[in-house]
Amino acid sequence: MRQIFLDTETTGLAADNGDRIIEIGCVEMLRRKPTGNNRHIYVNPGRDSHEEALKVHGITSEFLKDKPRFEEIVDDLLAYLSGAHLVIHNAPFDLGFLNMELALLGRPKLESVVASVTDSLVMAKELYPGKRNSLDALCDRLEVDNSGRALHGALLDAELLADVYINLTRGQNNLLMDDANAQDASGHSVPLIDLRAFTLPVIAASAEEVAAHEDVLRQIDESSKGKTVWRQLDAAVPAV
């Protein structure tokens, strides 16, 4: 699978109110391994950044004045992203800006070009509900070194996101790996093992465990006032 981890920096927070993209960073991975085929693009937005945004990314209008406009880099960017599985942290923000830039040029939305878009922020919230799930917080939690991140930068953030994503999804490989070139940490070939050849023991719950389970289900059902999925399914099944 070809994955691209993408991040942008912008002049402000409102794509629908005239703010524009000023930097795009992309990191490519194939089969969860970096390829080095990355993209790092500065874009002249034709306007100044808001003061608060400038404090975040530190990219001045003076620095951007000789950089290409979005219409000058759009074809190369879309060719690079075509067919890829994108991973973006807080995807609606970056997609909103990218789609706004594309709309200004009469181009279709980015989702029509790529294979899929995964929001790593949504993934993190599901894994760590109630906790801070910013990129910095995830770097700390997952032991990803972000010591070089004094200011936000699109390419650096995309690189950090790639490391965070690998740690977030570690252990999600299929039981039967389909990589014919599987290797261990030393680079030696590893024989594939089909785990379907093994018969796993089935341990039945005891009567006490079944009763405890039913009690928990009853409490959940009472708390939801009979709106649990299993209650609705039971009601939908006709009596025999």
Residues marked active site are found at 152
CA triple 10-122-124, angle to 5 deg: 105
The first and second tokens of residue 95, run together, are 């997609």
How many CA atoms, within 13 angstroms, populate the side-chain half-sphere of residue 37?
A: 12
**Rounded distance between C-alpha atoms, residue 136 and residue 161, angstroms:** 10
Short-list 208, 1, 4, CA closest to 91: 4
**Rounded distance between C-alpha atoms, residue 91 and residue 120, angstroms:** 8
**Rounded distance between C-alpha atoms, residue 82 and residue 106, angstroms:** 18
**Rounded distance between C-alpha atoms, residue 162 and residue 151, angstroms:** 18
Residue 150: CB atoms within 10 Å: 9
